[in-house]
Amino acid sequence: MERYLATLDHEQLLVRRGTRSGVFCVVAVHSTARGPALGGCRMWTYEDSRAAVRDALRLSRAMTFKSAVAGLPLGGGKGVIMLRGELSARARKDALRDFGDTVDALDGAYVTAEDVGTSARDMETIADQTKRVSGLSRKRGGSGDPSPYTALGVVTAIEVSCERVFGTPSLKGRSIAVVGLGHVGARIAKSLAKAGATLLVSDIDPGKKALADDLGAKWVTPEKALTAPVDVYAPCALGGILDHDSVPRLQCGVVAGAANNQLADDGIADLLNARSILWSPDFVANAGGIINIAVELDKGGYDPARAKRRVRGIGDTLKGIYDDAEGMGATPLTAAMERARRNLEQAGATMGRADAPEPVPVERY
Ligand SMILES: NC(=O)c1ccc[n+]([C@@H]2O[C@H](COP(=O)([O-])OP(=O)(O)OC[C@H]3O[C@@H](n4cnc5c(N)ncnc54)[C@H](O)[C@@H]3O)[C@@H](O)[C@H]2O)c1
């Protein structure tokens, strides 16, 4: 806790006990330099209230960098509803309404969205209390499920990375291991199969094997996928997969996937570089979800075709980052963080010592 407070550089932190539910609702607004602070609402059980506040502070800061590197007119924020055990359906609704009041009290500085523990339906409950909600269903004028856009961005990142390493963005005949066949990974695997890639796929849920059969992909264990001799390894499950143990065992030229927080620590980016494995920074490759949401803020409202075009822009962003990294003799992680910092400075944010690279952008949107 102490270490974190040393890097406290947020604009606002609001902690309120809900009048209906009695649960604590936390909203951290890290930066509004580039626009309203957007970030999901996490409903989670924490060890104690300090852990919940710390999570909101850490994740809101990560959102600032994620949006800045994507060039979005958004700042970074995050919400937390701190659970204390199971809630009845009614108490859950009360907690969501209380959170809605907390969001509304910030008067537009923060806009919420779906995150771990909350759904698009929960956003509708929150929307009863505040209009500062994104990610509502298409029926309600929102941008709906972000997963297809996240998947599109990741496939674009894989193409750009392949072009850099193998000389062509074409995925025909490329061998690719996709680990995690959830909302995003399954879509990525389908697109890659359509593009003619040779697929290895994996998930801890054996129910996902049917998709492997449908796609004509080889079904392997996550461990086998990690060490398989493939062109691309695409982590699409949980974070922390790249560490001092796994990176020396990789046999791929590119790592590009949807999972947040892929590096166990920032030093892993150097390890990947030393092994000549091109790593597409996760918070660049998986920004399709938030880019899609940002389209909701356009004057004309949400438009899926515009969203697709912007998500494909991840390709140019990533090319620029790879160019910068080569020019600086640095890792893509360092180049991406530099780009985020530049974009923030252009927007007038004063970035202090606390903005030295730290475990970076993370979260779902
Ligand atoms: N959904 C989005 O739009 C979005 C946006 C940005 C980032 N992400 C990140 O992408 C990742 C996937 O998101 P999702 O929405 O598809 O999640 P999801 O929960 O729908 O899917 C995750 C899948 O990974 C599998 N899995 C879990 N642990 C595994 C392991 N150790 N090995 C192999 N498979 C494992 C699960 O069984 C599940 O099928 C997450 O890290 C998420 O934070 C998602």
If one residue of 211, 224, 236 were mutated to test the ligand 1 pocket, choosing by the most ligand atoms within 8 A of its CB, it would be 236
What's the confidence (pLDDT) of residue 135? Answer: 87
Residue ending a domain, choose from 137, 162, 177: 137
143 lines ligand 1 (CB under 6 A): no
- In a domain, residue 98? The reply is yes
Residue 79 near residue 41, CB atoms below 8 Å: yes
- In a domain, residue 82? The reply is yes
Is the domain of 222 the same as that of 319? yes
Whether pLDDT at 354 is above 50: no
Is the domain of 11 the same as that of 147? no
What separation in Å is there between the alpha carbon of 260 and the centre of ligand 1? 9
* CA within 13 Å, CB half, 343: 23
If one residue of 116, 143, 150 were mutated to test the ligand 1 pocket, choosing by the most ligand atoms within 8 A of its CB, it would be 150
On whether 184 is known to bind a ligand per the annotation, the reply is yes
What's the confidence (pLDDT) of residue 349? Answer: 67
Residue 298: both structure tokens together: 């356009």
Window from 27-31, 105-109, 115-119, 321-325 with minimum mean pLDDT:
115-119
Is the domain of 305 the same as that of 169? yes
What separation in Å is there between the alpha carbon of 16 and the centre of ligand 1? 31
Residue 115 near residue 135, CB atoms below 8 Å: no
For residue 255, what is the domain's CATH number? 3.40.50.720
Whether pLDDT at 353 is above 80: no
Residue 168: both structure tokens together: 């062509």
For residue 87, what is the domain's CATH number? 3.40.50.10860
The contacts of residue 267 (CB under 8 Å, 6+ apart) are none
146 lines ligand 1 (CB under 6 A): yes
Residue ending a domain, choose from 115, 137, 159: 137
- In a domain, residue 350? The reply is no
Nearest-angstrom CA–CA distance, 20 and 22: 6
CA-CA-CA-CA torsion sign (134, 348, 337, 77): negative
Given the residues 66, 78, 190, 308, the one annotated as active site: 78
- In a domain, residue 354? The reply is no
β-pair type (12-17, 254-255): unpaired
On whether 30 is known to bind a ligand per the annotation, the reply is no
- In a domain, residue 351? The reply is no
pLDDT digits (tens, 9 = 90+) for 164-219: 999 999 999 999 999 999 999 999 999 999 999 999 999 999 999 999 999 999 99
- In a domain, residue 80? The reply is yes
Nearest-angstrom CA–CA distance, 95 and 130: 14
Index of the ligand 1 atom closest to the CA of residue 282: 7
What separation in Å is there between the alpha carbon of 350 and the centre of ligand 1? 34
Is the domain of 195 the same as that of 297? yes
- In a domain, residue 356? The reply is no
Is the domain of 191 the same as that of 115? no
Nearest residue (CA) to ligand 1, atom 6: 364
The contacts of residue 68 (CB under 8 Å, 6+ apart) are 34, 76, 339, 340, 341, 343, 344, 347
Is the domain of 180 the same as that of 221? yes
What's the confidence (pLDDT) of residue 139? Answer: 87
Is the domain of 131 the same as that of 213? no
Range of the domain at 264: 143-342+361-365
pLDDT digits (tens, 9 = 90+) for 75-89: 999 999 999 888 999
- In a domain, residue 155? The reply is yes
Whether pLDDT at 1 is above 80: no
Question: What secondary structure letter does DSSP report for 327?
Answer: H
- How many separate domains does the chain show? 2
Is the domain of 191 the same as that of 326? yes
Residue 303 near residue 291, CB atoms below 8 Å: no
The number of residues making up the chain comes to 365
Is the domain of 87 the same as that of 180? no
Give the DSSP letter string of 124-149. Answer: HHHTTT-S-B----GGGTS----HHH
Is the domain of 108 the same as that of 153? no
- Asked about 78 being catalytic, the answer comes back as yes
Is the domain of 40 the same as that of 157? no
Is the domain of 227 the same as that of 124? no
Nearest-angstrom CA–CA distance, 33 and 73: 9
What separation in Å is there between the alpha carbon of 238 and the centre of ligand 1? 6
Give the DSSP letter string of 262-322. Answer: -BSSTHHHHHHHHTT-EE--HHHHTTHHHHHHHGGGSTT---HHHHHHHHHTHHHHHHHHH
